[in-house]
Amino acid sequence: MSQDECVEALEKHASIQPLVTLTVWKELMKENEAFFHAYSHGIHPSYASQY
């Protein structure tokens, strides 16, 4: 699931505002850079340049 898909799903199914999801996602990326790098390569190679 991409970041955009995650934001959309959380807004739709849990009524979580996109800004909250994006803020948490950003902080998680800082704390778990290696995970997000590997994750981005696994789901879609074009996302890799974002991380």
Write down the pLDDT at residue 49. 52
pLDDT at 20: 98
Report pLDDT for 39.
80
Query: pLDDT value at position 2?
Result: 86
Q: What is the DSSP string of 6-43?
A: HHHHHHHHH---HHHHHHHHHHHHHHTHHHHHHHHHHH
Q: What is the pLDDT along the chain (51 residues), one digit of tens a residue?
A: 889 999 999 999 999 999 999 999 999 999 998 888 888 777 655 554 554
Domain range summary for the chain, segments of one domain joined by +: 3-50
User: CA 51 to CA 48: how far, in whole Å?
Assistant: 6
pLDDT (0 to 100) of residue 35: 87
